[in-house]
Structure 1
Amino acid sequence: MKIKVMIVDDDELIRSSLKYILASDTSIEVVNTSSNGDEAYNNLQKIDVDVILMDIRMPICNGVAATKKISSIYPDKKIIILTTFDDDDYIFEALKNGAKGFLLKNVSPDKIIEAIKIVYQGNLLLHPDVTAKLTSMLQMEKKVEWQKYDLTEAEVNIMKLISEGFSNKEIADHVFLSEGTVKNKISDILDKLHLRDRTQIAIFYLKGGNK
């Protein structure tokens, strides 16, 4: 089964270029291109989509607003923010609004393809520069009293690895546990912190707690 992708960008040349790049991978199919967030939202009512590549700065409805609108109605749609603007506020707001990945447009074509596959599998994907900016922006404390959240040392370590974009399998390899045990621990973390998904876990960790 192919990964169905929607490209949302106000620049026609970029839409065409991305469509050409993604056509090189037989496991991906571009099923729609839209020029702004409202158009994308309307098209989702008629088209089955798995992953959305979303630009930030667009007329009518920008990428941050569109991510919030789409995620609230279609929470199963996985949105990757793809932009030339590595603005801190955009990064944080997009993730808060439900984005599952954030890439800068200067990454290589194979990285874009890889990002789509990673996010499609349910993992969080952040460009290394974005992760560094998030950590700096959210001013994570060196010493955080994680115990007050009833979190174990193992759970905190898993949160850290999630914030760095590791998959369950990669986390399992790092902490020497089975992938099934890691999944159970992530469920425990979500329950303890009353969070919805991995993205919220990553933001919670990077902020040093304090939802």
Structure 2
Amino acid sequence: MIRVLLVDDQRLIRAGLRMLLESTSDFLVVGEAADGVEAVRAAAELAPDLVLMDLRMPGRDGTSATRDIRAARPESKVLVLTTFDDDDHLYPALAAGASGYLVKDTDPADLLAAMRRTMEGDMLFSPALLRRLVERAVTTPEPPPARVGLTPREHDILDLVGDGYANQEIADRLHLGLSTVKTHIANLLDKTGTDNRVRLAVYADRSRRNQPLE
């Protein structure tokens, strides 16, 4: 059971999210907060697995609350759900430690899937945001990175990360256990010097042009 804290200043939004999550068998809403101050306090008291976080709220905003929640409790993941899809909100939220960034017009089924994938270690974005992030990265003038020091299996997994597959999908395609895939992903982050899944996907895309095997 995934324990969820809902953070949004609009009571109607929180009620709708609660109804959606309570219609599932794998999510449990453990609390709600209407601003960043309440969110930090509730996260400390309730120890949620996942915080669904709005950004623009009266008083303390969601970005600063995300930073404090992640600092105090790194095992709690924060998934942003907001109406704002501009870079001025996106990048500060990611820098604060958010595990993903979705806009509020996301389909309910896609939101539930994103929440599950976040708990599996994926980093989720609304499609338009992800395209913008990747396009910006791959059009930078730096030469493509070389894939050095990777095992053949790591090459396979890196390609699938670059194609947007989730951990469970990678496990199914390569006939591996989910824990094995997570271990490979952690090793890839370390070997490529990337610090999250989006940057690893960008690395995969750019390095396809230069893939020497050791």
Give TM-score scaled by structure 2 length: 0.79
Distance change in 2, residues 1:182/1:49 (3 Å): closer
Match of 2:165 in 1: 166
Distance in 2, matches of 1:132 and 1:106, equals 17
Distance 1:165 1:30, change over 3 A: farther
| Structure 1 segments unaligned to the other structure (5+ residues) | none
1:1-211 to 2 correspondence within 5 Å?
2-138=1-137, 140-141=139-140, 144-147=143-146, 150=148, 152=150, 158-159=157-158, 161-162=160-161, 165-172=164-171, 176=174, 178-179=176-177, 182-198=181-197, 201-202=200-201, 205=203
8 Å CA contact retained: 1:4, 1:31: yes
Q: State the shift of 1:72 in Å.
A: 1.4
Cα pair 2:5 2:31 within 8 Å, conserved? yes
User: What are the ranges of 5 or more consecutive residues in structure 2 without an aligned counterpart?
Assistant: 208-214
Displacement of 1:192 after TM fit? 2.5
After superposition, give the CA deviation of every residue in 1:119-143 in whole Å (9 maximum; x if it has no partner).
1222222221110121244464387
**Count of equivalent residues:** 205
Report how far residue 75 of structure 1 moved: 0.9
Distance change >3 Å, CA 89–CA 171, structure 1 → 2: farther
By how many angstroms is 1:144 displaced? 3.4
- Secondary structure of the residue that 1:146 maps to in structure 2? coil
Contact kept, 8 Å, 2:6 with 2:52, in 1: the verdict is yes
* Letter in structure 1 aligned against 2:43: L
Q: Provide the C-alpha distance between the structure 1 equivalents of 2:9 and 2:119, rounded to a whole number of angstroms.
A: 24
Q: Report percent identity of matched pairs.
A: 34
AA aligned to 2:143 is: V
The normalised TM-score by structure 1 is 0.80
Over aligned residues, Cα RMSD in angstroms? Answer: 3.0
More deviation, 107-116/78-87: 107-116
* Closer, same or farther: CA 108–169 of 1 in aligned 2, 3 Å: closer
